[in-house]
Amino acid sequence: MKDSVYSTTNLKDRSREELHGLLSELKREMFDLRIMQATSQLKDNNKLKNTRRDIARVMTEISTRRAAGRKQ
């Protein structure tokens, strides 16, 4: 997990625009996975869980930066 694009150390090095881009990509991937699951094309159900967690990691980093910006 430490080598993943969505690890917390890698997310901290990204700009705000990159984080929002990653978030939109992940949301689109989640949509596609849900469609695949509904049509019984998804073979690995863990992808749903992992994508949901990656979305949460990106959103946490965005909200942390937003909160830090308000304090300053």
Distance, in Å, from the CA atom of 69 to the CA atom of 56, rounded to the nearest integer, reads: 20
In tens, the pLDDT along 8-55 reads: 888 899 999 999 999 999 999 999 999 999 999 999 999 999 999 999
| Residue 5, both tokens | 């694009």
At 44, the amino acid letter reads: D
Q: Which is it for the CA torsion 15, 21, 27, 30, positive or negative? A: negative
Query: Does the reported pTM lie above 0.85?
Result: yes
Instruction: Give the angle subtended at the CA of 39 by the CAs of 37 and 24, to the nearest 5°.
Output: 50
Domains of the chain: 8-71 (1.10.287.310)
Give dist(CA 35, CA 20) in Å, integer. Answer: 23
